[in-house]
């Protein structure tokens, strides 16, 4: 079943994104990624992907 992962851990991973340019991990809300309100502190890039996506 899909209930192996605790809800808190699932939520934690869902809120973590990785910069496509420098692989810096950022914790933020999904909405802010969609609205492009998040800038990478290292390279100022705005391209992020979810951490679990290969
Ligand atoms: Zn970056």
**Cβ pair 53, 20 in contact under 8 A:** no
- From CA 5, how far away is CA 22, in angstroms rounded? 28
Q: Output the CA 37–ligand 1 centroid distance in Å.
A: 14
Q: Is 29's pLDDT higher than 70?
A: yes
Quote the tokens at residue 42: 């290292």
- From CA 31, how far away is CA 17, in angstroms rounded? 12
Quote the tokens at residue 20: 């496509």
Q: Output the CA 46–ligand 1 centroid distance in Å.
A: 8
pLDDT in tens, 14-26: 789 999 999 999 9
Q: Output the CA 42–ligand 1 centroid distance in Å.
A: 5
Q: Is 42's pLDDT higher than 90?
A: yes
Q: Is 40's pLDDT higher than 90?
A: yes
**What's the pTM?**
0.70
- From CA 44, how far away is CA 37, in angstroms rounded? 11
Q: Output the CA 25–ligand 1 centroid distance in Å.
A: 8
3-state secondary structure of 39: coil
Q: Output the CA 8–ligand 1 centroid distance in Å.
A: 26
């Amino acid at each position: 079943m899909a209930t192996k992962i605790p809800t808190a851990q699932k939520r934690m991973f869902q809120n973590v994104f990785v910069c496509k340019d420098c692989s810096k991990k950022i914790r933020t809300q999904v909405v802010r990624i969609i609205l492009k309100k998040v800038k990478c502190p290292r390279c100022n890039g705005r391209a992020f992907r979810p951490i679990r996506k290969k």
